[in-house]
Every structure is written in C-alpha cells, then in structure tokens.
Amino acid sequence: MSTTPSVLVLRAAGTNCDPETAYAFELFDARTETLHVNQLLAEPERLARHHVLAFPGGFAYGDDVAAGAVWACELRSRLADALGRFVDDGGLVLGICNGFQALVRLGLLPGLTNTLGTQEVSLTDNVSLKYEDRWVRLQVTSRRCVFVGDMPAPELPLAHAEGRMVCLDDSVRRRLADDDRIVFRYANADGQPTQDYPANPNGSIDAIAGLTDGTGRVLGLMPHPERALLGLHRPTWSRRPWRGEAPEDLGPGAALFRNACDWVRANR
Amino acid sequence: MRLRAEAREAGIRLGDGFSTRCGYSLRIVGGTEAVRQLADELLVDPVLNTVRIYRPEEDPRADDAHRVEVVRLPGVMDPTSQSVLRATAALGLEVRDVRSWNAYLFPPDTTPDVLSRISTQLLANSAIEQVRIDPAQGIAPLEPLDDVPFRLVHVPLRDAGPDELTRISADGCLALDAVEMTAIREHFIDAGRDPTDIELETLAQTWSEHCKHKTLTGLVDYEGETLDNLLKSTIARATHELDRPFCASVFVDNAGVVDFDEANLLTFKVETHNHPSAIEPYGGAGTGLGGVLRDTLGTGLGARPVASTDVFCFGPPDLPAGELPKGCMHPRRIMRGVVSGVRDYGNRMGIPTVNGTVFFDERYVGNPLVYCGSVGILPRDRLEKHVAPGDLVLVCGGRTGRDGIHGATFSSLELHDESETVSSGAVQIGNAIEEKKVMDALLAARDQGLYRGVTDCGAGGLSSAVGEMGEACGAHVILDRVPLKYHGLTYAEIWISEAQERMVLAVPPEHEQAILQVFAAEDVEATIIGTFNDSGRLTAEFAGEQVMDLPMDFLHQGLPRQTRRATRRRRDLQDPAPLPAAECQSMLVQLLSHPNIASKHWVVRQYDHEVQAGSVVKPFVGPQHDGPSDAAVIAPVLGSRRAFALGCGLAPWVGDVDPYQMALTAIDEALRNVVAVGGDPEQTSILDNFSWGNCEKPDNLGDLVEACKACYDGAMAYRTPFISGKDSLNNDYRVGDESRSIPPTLLISALSIVPDAAHACTMDLKAPGHALVLVGATGPELGGSHLARLQGTLGAQAPRVDLSSAPRVLATLHRAISNGLIAACHDLSEGGLAVAAAEMAFAGDIGASIDVTRIPTTGDVDLGRRLFAEAPTRLLLEVDKTHLAALQELLGEQAHAIIGETIEASHMAVREGDREVFRADLASLRAAFNGALQLDPDLEAGT
C-alpha cells in the first residue's frame, strides 16, 4: 500500500486561500491539516508528521511593511530550524502568491546560498502600481521541480499587487537561469516569455512567475493554481472546445497538486 | 508616475525627480543595536531598500530636496503599527508607540504653492492625516493620552424651552427634531430627573433615521392619500403576501436569509456608506464593505461571507476642475479612493467582489453613493438567536477609540462644505485583518456552539448592538471593562464609538472560558463587559456609578411617529429629434464609450473576484476576457456545482422621468441579469436600497412613494420577494445657499439559485452561423435613455414594464437556458440593442449581422429607437439553428423574432431590410468600450 500524502496548510492572520488550497490536495486523496501559525510555533514537531508544507495565498498580517514580511520575520526568528530540517528530510514546500512572497523573504527560494534567512530576490509593486486579478499564460521553463512533472503550459489566474520579481544583483539574476531555478515565465500568445503588459502582468524581471530551489522540491509561484482546479474555473469554459466536456473535468492548475501527491506516493 | 498623472489632472505641473520614502517612528528598548536589528530583520528589504536611522529631534531633510511628510492623526487606525508590534514581539524586541508614515521628496525648484496644493489635494486628507512640509524635526512616536477625570454629566432637559431643545440637539450633533426632543423631555419629566449625556446619546443613536427608518415607517400624506408605514404597506407586504417557502428569515435579522442546499442557507444584505465616503473616500468605502461583511457575520449565529457586490454613483469623471463646488473632492479622486477602499478591505478579507456597477451624474458630485453588499453561507441549524437572561455580553475584535463618533446621526444630516472639519470624528479607517481574525474566531466558536446570539457593532456602536440584542429582556454593561485603544475617552464616547471590527455576542456563562480560548488562539481580544438580564431596562455603570438607566420599551417604541407631506413632482419632459441613419454608427461608439456603459475593468480587475475558488461566471468573459457579464455565478461549496447568480438593477435617469417606472425598471433589470446567466426566477430574491434626496422636501418624498408602490407591484408580479433592504434618505448637499438633491436612486440587488453551475450561460458569441433572437418588444419611449441624454433631453415618457408578460419571458428564458438551447445570452439595458449586440460580438470575436426591420415593436418606432431605446424585458440570444424550433415552441406567443445571425467576420453589420445602415469593425467597438473609463492615464491603454 502506498503512502497517503499528508499536507500541512499553514495559515496566519490574514491568510485567506487556505480552504481551497487544502481542497486541491484532497482532490488527489491527500490528508490535510490546516494550522494557525500560533499552533505550529507552540508545537514545531507537528511539521515532521507531514510530507508537504503549503503556504497559501492571502494577506498575512495585512502585508504590512511589505508583502509576506511580517510572516517571514516571525517564521525566520522562531521556526527556521524546523523548516530547514523539513526540506533537508525530503519534504515538499509550496508557496502560492502571498506564500511565495513569504518563501522569498525567508530565503527558502531561490536558495542560491543554501542559507535560510538570506534574501536574494524580492517580489515588489507591480509596474502598474495596482492590484490586479487576471488570467495569464505561462511557459514551463524547467521541469526539474517535482510539482511540474509533464504538465502542459498552463493558463492560470493571478491576483496581487506585489508580484514583480527583482534580483539583488546581476549575479543572482544570472544564477537563477544558470542553476535552473526558474520554473514558470509569463508568456505571450505564442507561448514565449514576454515583458509586455498585460501578458506579463507585473513587470517581473525575465518574466519570472515561479521559482524552485536546488532540490526541486520547493516551488513558489504568483499565479493561483488552486483557483483553476476545475474546468468550470476557466473564464472561457462556456466556449468550445470546453463546453460540453464533463463538468467534473479538471482545470489547468490541478496538475501541480496531482504531481505532488503522486511524488509522495512514489518516493516516501 | 501615478502622482505626476494625478497632479496634471488637478492642474498642477510637476517636474521630474521626485521620490518616496516610508518611515516608522517608535520607542524601543536597547539603543541603536536594537533599532538596527529591527531594520535588518523586518523593516528593510535588502533587495530594494536603503535605510536611515535617526532620532525625532534630528532634521529629517537629507539634501536640498523639498520634503512632505504625511502621518495619520493620533487616534486614526494604523494597521501597520499593529503588525510591526506583532513582529517585534517575535524578534524579542521591546517596542511601543509605533507610527508608520510616508515622505515625498520633490526637486528643490518646486514652488511652495505646488507643494502645498499637492499635499492637500493629492497626498493627504486633513480629515485623517497631518501634512508636514519641509519639517525641521522628525515625526515623534505617539504620545500616550491622559485619562480624563470621571464626571457624570446631566443635560438640563426638563427646564428647556423649544429653542433650547433644538439648540441641545444641534450642539450635540444628535439629529433629533423638536417633536422627538419634546418626547424625550416628557419622558424624563415623568421620571423625575434630567437625562445623563449618555442616555440622550443612546436615544439619538437608536432613533436616528439610519437605525429606525423614520420616513419609511412613518406616516405620509401623499396628495391627500394617507400612507401608514410605507415599508410595511408596500415592500414587506409583498414578501408576506407571496409567502415563498424558500424565505428562511426576512426583514428581522442583519440580512435576509433564503434556502440554498440541503445543509446551508444564503444570507444577503446591501448597505450604503455615502456620507463617510464623501469626506474620506478610502476609509468610508472600506469601512462600508467592512460593515456589511459584519452584517453577514451577525446574521443568525454568523454566516460566512462568500461574495461581495459594490455599486457606486459618482460625479462625471471628466468634470472640469473649475466646476467643482467648494469643499468637494473631484469625482476622479473620490472614485480612486472608493475603489481602493473596497479593494483593500475585500481582498484582504478574502471575499471575492464579483458584481456591481458604476453610474455617473453631475448631481452626485457633492454626495457620491457607495453601496456595498455581501452574500454569506449559513448552516441551517445556525439560523436562530436566543439571547437569554444570564447570558454574558462579550465584545470581541478591535479596541474602542474615539473614531466614528456620531456616524449614525451624521448620516442623517445634510453635507456642506465644512462637513469635513466638523464631522471628521465620524470618519474612520478600517483594519481588514482585524475583521478577518474576528471572522475566523467567530466561525470557530459558532461551530462549537459557544454562544446564543451575535450582532455587529455598526452605527451607534455598543449602544445599538447591546440595545438591540437585549431589547426583549434587558442588559447591564460595565463600561470600564471595554478595552480601549488609548486613554482619554469618556464613558459616553465608549458607549457610542463606532470603532470598526467589533462584534457583540451573548455567551452562556458555562461557555465563558471555552470561548475566550477560541478567540485567544486567533489573537483576537475578547472581553466580558456585562450581562443580559430580565430587567426590561438598558443600564450601564462607570467608575462604580450608574450612568444610564433607560426602559427598553421607551428606547425602542418611544419614538413619536410623524406625518410627512409628499407631492407629485412636476416635470417638463421632451423627446429628442429622430436620429438620422448617418449618425447611428457614431452614436453606437459614443454610447459604448459613455462612462455609464463603458467597461468597468479599471475597477473590477482591482478586486480579487476568484478567491475561495467558487467563480464560475466571472465579471469578464470571452476569449479576450473583456465581455461584460450580466451577473456573476458563484459555486460557494467546494466540490458542489450548486451555485447562485448575483446581479443588480439601477436606473436613476428613468427616475427623473417617472420614479414608479424607475423602480420597476430596476427590478426588471436585476432579474434579467441573474436569469440571463442561468438563475432560476422561481428561486430568486431581491433587496431594496433607496438613496434619496432630503425627504423633508415633499417632491422627493413623492418620488419615494411612487417607487415604493412599484416595489410592491413588481414583487407581486414577478413573485419575487424582498428579503432585506436599507435606505439613506438625506443625500442633499449644500453649495453656497442652494441645497441640492441627488437623483432618486433605487438599487435592486438580486440573488438567484443556479441549480447546476455547468448549465450557466455567458454573453460572448460562440460561433458563426447561429441565429440571433431578440426576445421582448421595443416601444417608442425614450424617457431616461442614454440616447435622449446624449441629445440633451430627458425623454418624454419612460418605457413601461409590462408586468403581465415580463415574468413569463423570464420563466421561458430560464427553461431555454436550462435545456441547453442558448449559446449566449445578454440583457438589453443602457444603450439598448445595438450596445448589447456589439458587446456580444467583440466579446466572442465573432461577427454579427442584424436587420432592424425584424425587431418586434409596439407603436411607431424609428431607426434610432430600434437600435438604442432602453425598453425593459428584452434579451438578445445566440441560438444554434438546430435548437431554433425548440426555442420558438417555448416562446410561443411571446414577442420575439430572429433579427439576424452570427457571421464569420470581424464586424457588426446593421441592415434596414436590404439597405446597410452601417458596418462597424469589432476592434473599434472593443476599443471604444475598453478605453473610455481609465483612471491611470499614463500607465496603460486597453485591458
């Protein structure tokens, strides 16, 4: 009998995508536990009971100071060891939107120096200077990340005000490409990476939409795959070729969760 | 970037080379080393920021740049400071008195005049913020306020004559008239004492128009006809006569409640927050949404919000700066602030904002309208509240401060050019994360069954919340126990403060410890402040002394009912000249780019409309995601396809011609919208929200009477009950000596069950070779239409809603959509047939060809009217020709016709028989629609 994937969905005050993130894993028969960060700080050993740690989207602590800043500060100062061990021991980590912002500030992504707490890139104000909700086309740049597998290039929704990737310096920027850390890029209608608004909705450098670390077991991305789980989530589901497909058919974001669950079953 | 564009709009020239800083002033233990640690580990992003650390006595100016600092006034909500305190605790640092602020650096050659105008018009709002231009010292951390010594204040009412009573009401901002003040005076003469200030305040809050709906529930003399309680005799009467079984709770709780699925009910409520939004658009709109979300949390034992709506009315976005009345903000500034306020509150709460509209008219310049709505989901066994004597009064959430004093009474007064200064206490900034925490904790406590009653602290603060919950029994509150943001509040201020993000619960004593633990786990402050009892009185103590003792029956039933006079308004109405054929195409483009019709994507895309993963029909549909949906469809339960549609109707310009038809038009439009996307008209309920000019003016009240009568007739004809509503009846503002009223503005919001989300319908054309079927007849009436307005008239007569045929049209349409006969469906509203057809065509990237001679008509209808008239109960359908026979059988004798077809082309062609009237390129129609309402002038074009 294979292992049942077990997912810890971590929330803080202001996290708001935790129910649908848990549901996405449950669709692929994972067991999930949603914990307030207060509970995990009180009992850090609970982390080791899970295979996957998910940082959902939202506005942890209102994104005050900067998106994900207070959440990351709290985790870095009080949970750094447990987090480091979790990844070293083969755990998977997924950060979506606000979760990605927190992973970047924690230094877990892109993790070039391999030292938790060293921030190498940042996610900051969109070039449009405003929050926007829209669907984007992504290019799959690397398949090294276990969440990606063989998924086709997806279209996914995103919704954020601070999603523009910037790098500490040119060397970090080069190493993101050289070390194969870039998983998703914003793409134009031809599927090619672009800096043009709105295909690249926030002006991210090198059109970066998602990153992985050196292990390939950590993924952070700005778009929301958990909002594209079902065919009916597509803005164009009522058109051919989708209209008339079985309503239970899955949407373009489902593969990320399925791949993670499959990987746990095969490897843990 | 944005600041430069906004400055240019405000007529201010701003050169290159300005930059921004954000800062924090605070007290910290541990000297420079501790400050450095705080900066490195929290405040400074090493990738983006540099840091400067200095003492407040030092000169903050680093070079010769001009520096403008903007900091919130003491006492105004500063959520960032609270988050900073949370993080510093985790870092083990001892920090207090945090203030966050912004600084703007301008080139040395910027003139003092420009600095001053930019500061007051763009950077800061003096109602909540302080501006410091070129300050020689830094911003000091917050200074703790001193406690005020306790002194019980009695108001000498018994000896007051009529003039004195009026003066007491005006000086205290009580908004009580002479008759009401006299009733209070007589009550206290009988009681043998004078009222305390807190008793008078409590009566003023509870008797306010905002809380008691005095006009709608009072007596009206309308042209000789006496109407006793408009609300009961029209709107609620229809609901009770219809007695629809899907209504679970109507007009009694904080929201209306209807059936959803086997396990759940849906709650629905829309609120107005007009006056606060006029003075501080960002805070006013944000707290408007925050307030209606608390209404949802306070319905039954607490519903979980699953969708929000917002509808705004503003002055024209292109209003020349010279025409702006003194004391008013430009409509663009108001609109930016309002949209940001709703965005920041709703997005942070994680509630999708999915439906709404924006309407522009010059009469909203001084009095914008902000309607915020909320749908919630409530387990069936959590509907009933049972507050029992002995239950504890628990207040949870944000602390109480001096913010929001007199919100309920302020909303009942006329706005004038000094409203901002005298009433700034009524304005506040919300803290969405506080409310999110309250929601998480409250719903956890609900599921564990730890309390018996709940309501939100809205208008009137604790006075209204505790007074309402204890109405049937009695309550005693110990005001010293209420947690305060700072010292210095009097007992009366504690009682009536409308500080945001607070809820009041009735907790059985045996659950006290358990519920306090649930709140503590989510970092929400919760405090027992009193008990419900069986005294029949509302009492309070402070510093060990009784400060209030009011009988519940006088508080809730003592308000004298007054008769108001209403008259039928005289109108001078004319139709425009017939539109020549040669002008039809340019009229179409003009209409598509009219702000009332043009795409609202600038607004909508700033809202998270997909959080909670229930979005099925999004605000924009079609391959380029730019076709405007008639309504939103949401499947709120993960794993279930049962869904609801959410739509609205609003027709202020029809109200200028005929307020009775205006109300019917709004009802018809709201119902058309939800049915067009797949809603079941047999499982639909509606809300009324009246925003009206001052109803002490008889013709304004006459308009209201007409609209209420239409609400009854419409609800009965469609068999669609009103389940909740709200009114805001004092939307006048003073310009000089003239008092101006807004147009009568009735918002109808509709909530409709979509039994299977997979059967929902969208408005984008799907394929060439399909038939275009117009359902409903077009008459010659142009009253209230955009065609008439654009030609400088109101239109002579309003289109009449045919109450005998309209409900059948909607029923038939629903059957056709459920049976899968309809490829696309769009409702005809502002701009009529041509606008609807154009939107469908460019939304689907599919051409369309229409023959206007085939349009079903009543009376003599010329070309311009066929294309642009706004007759109600009309929809344009795209139908696969193999389904035509089935559709036509369903439609039977109802007015309909095949008026054209979809074509493989990139244009829309309009023919009059064999003659082509015009042929418009889809790209140009799309550009007109998408490009018109754009409030980031320098940043982008298109979507």
ipTM of the complex: 0.96
For residue B348, the chain A residues in CB contact (below 8 A) are 14, 16, 59, 62-63
In the predicted structure, residue B872 carries a pLDDT above the cut 50: yes
A122 to chain B nearest CA, in Å? 6
Burial tier of A29 (Cβ tally within 10 Å: 0-12, 13-18, 19+): exposed
Active-site entry in B66, B213, B273, B770: B273
What does the DSSP 8-state code read for residue B232? I
- Provide the pLDDT confidence category of residue B424 given band limits of 50, 70 and 90: very low
What's the CA gap between B622 and A208, in Å, rounded?
26
The pLDDT score that the predictor gives to residue B13 is 76
Q: Which of A125, A239, A240 to mutate to test the interface with B (most CBs of B within 10 A)?
A: A239
**B225: CB partners within 8 A, 6+ apart:** none
* CB spacing of B613 vs A61 below 8 angstroms: no
Active-site entry in B210, B786, B826, B883: B210
Catalytic residues of A: 97, 224, 226
The pLDDT score that the predictor gives to residue B423 is 45
Catalytic site residue B210? Answer: yes
Closest to A65 (Cβ–Cβ): which among B43, B348, B522?
Answer: B43
In the predicted structure, residue B421 carries a pLDDT above the cut 50: no
In the predicted structure, residue B7 carries a pLDDT above the cut 90: no
In the predicted structure, residue B537 carries a pLDDT above the cut 90: yes
Please give the structure tokens belonging to residue A92.
Answer: 């998977």
* CB spacing of A66 vs B84 below 8 angstroms: no
**At the topology level of CATH, where does A6-267 sit?**
Rossmann fold (3.40.50)
SS3 A124: strand
**B175: CB partners within 8 A, 6+ apart:** B169, B204, B208, B209, B409, B410, B412, B413
* Lateral strand order in the sheet of B502-507: B453-456, B502-507, B392-397, B526-532, B475-478, B537-542, B545-551
Residue with tokens 């800083």: B21
Instruction: Please compute the mean of the pLDDT values over residues B186-214 and round it to a whole number.
Output: 92
In the predicted structure, residue B414 carries a pLDDT above the cut 80: no
For residue B605, the chain A residues in CB contact (below 8 A) are 132-134
In the predicted structure, residue B941 carries a pLDDT above the cut 50: no
- Alpha carbon distances (Å) from B564 to A206, B567, B859: 67, 10, 40
What does the DSSP 8-state code read for residue B137? S
What's the CA gap between B919 and B67, in Å, rounded?
56
Q: Which of A77, A188, A238 to mutate to test the interface with B (most CBs of B within 10 A)?
A: A238
What's the CA gap between B334 and B400, in Å, rounded?
28
Instruction: Please compute the mean of the pLDDT values over residues B451-462 and round it to a whole number.
Output: 92
For residue A105, the chain B residues in CB contact (below 8 A) are 45
What's the CA gap between B36 and B39, in Å, rounded?
5
Regarding predicted confidence, which is higher, A246 or B281?
B281
* pLDDT mean across residues, chain B: 93
B349 to chain A nearest CA, in Å? 7
Residue with tokens 């004319």: B574
Output the tens digit of pLDDT for each of chain A's 268 residues.
579 999 999 999 999 999 999 999 999 999 999 999 999 999 999 999 999 999 999 999 999 999 999 999 999 988 999 999 999 999 999 999 999 999 999 999 999 986 777 899 999 999 988 999 999 999 999 999 999 999 999 999 999 999 999 999 999 999 999 999 999 999 999 999 999 999 999 999 999 999 999 999 999 999 999 999 999 999 999 997 666 666 668 999 999 999 999 999 999 8
Instruction: Please compute the mean of the pLDDT values over residues B190-196 and round it to a whole number.
Output: 96
- Asked if B308 and B364 touch (Cβ cutoff 8 Å), the reply is no
Share of chain B above pLDDT 90, in %: 80
Helices B659-676/B806-818 angle, 10° precision: 10
B602 to chain A nearest CA, in Å? 9
The pLDDT score that the predictor gives to residue B278 is 87
Nearest CA in chain B to A77: B91
CB atoms closer than 10 angstroms to residue B898: 17
522-561 of B, contacting A, C-beta below 8 A = 522-523
What does the DSSP 8-state code read for residue B318? T
- Provide the pLDDT confidence category of residue B929 given band limits of 50, 70 and 90: very high
Identify the H or E element spanning B336.
Answer: helix B331-349
* CB spacing of B939 vs A238 below 8 angstroms: no
- Convert the pLDDT of each residue in B317-358 to its tens digit: 999 988 988 888 899 999 999 999 999 999 999 999 999 999
Instruction: Please compute the mean of the pLDDT values over residues B175-182 and round it to a whole number.
Output: 92
301-340 of B, contacting A, C-beta below 8 A = none
B389 to chain A nearest CA, in Å? 34
The answer to whether residue B234 neighbours chain A at the CB level (below 8 Å) is: no
In the predicted structure, residue B736 carries a pLDDT above the cut 90: no
Instruction: Please compute the mean of the pLDDT values over residues B82-86 and round it to a whole number.
Output: 88
Share of chain B above pLDDT 70, in %: 97
The answer to whether residue B941 neighbours chain A at the CB level (below 8 Å) is: no
Cα angle value B154/B160/B165 (rounded, 5°): 90
* CB spacing of A19 vs B766 below 8 angstroms: no
Instruction: Please compute the mean of the pLDDT values over residues B516-536 and round it to a whole number.
Output: 97
- Provide the pLDDT confidence category of residue B75 given band limits of 50, 70 and 90: confident
Instruction: Find residue B130's DSSP bridge partners.
Output: B71
The answer to whether residue B936 neighbours chain A at the CB level (below 8 Å) is: yes
Identify the H or E element spanning B214.
Answer: helix B214-217
Nearest CA in chain B to A117: B41
What's the CA gap between B131 and B133, in Å, rounded?
6
What's the CA gap between A179 and B772, in Å, rounded?
56
AA letter at B352? P
- Provide the pLDDT confidence category of residue B425 given band limits of 50, 70 and 90: low
Instruction: Please compute the mean of the pLDDT values over residues B4-21 and round it to a whole number.
Output: 77
In the predicted structure, residue B420 carries a pLDDT above the cut 80: no
For residue B431, the chain A residues in CB contact (below 8 A) are 62
* CB spacing of B45 vs A122 below 8 angstroms: yes
**A42: CB partners within 8 A, 6+ apart:** none
* CB spacing of A236 vs B431 below 8 angstroms: no
In the predicted structure, residue B794 carries a pLDDT above the cut 50: yes
The pLDDT score that the predictor gives to residue A116 is 75
In the predicted structure, residue B561 carries a pLDDT above the cut 60: yes
Closest to B943 (Cβ–Cβ): which among A59, A159, A198?
Answer: A198
Closest to A133 (Cβ–Cβ): which among B80, B92, B608?
Answer: B608
Q: Which of B85, B608, B621, B936 to mutate to test the interface with A (most CBs of A within 10 A)?
A: B608
In the predicted structure, residue B404 carries a pLDDT above the cut 80: no
Q: What are phi and psi of B564, to 5 degrees?
A: -110, 150
- Establish, for the pair of chains A and B, how many residue pairs have beta carbons separated by less than 8 Å: 180
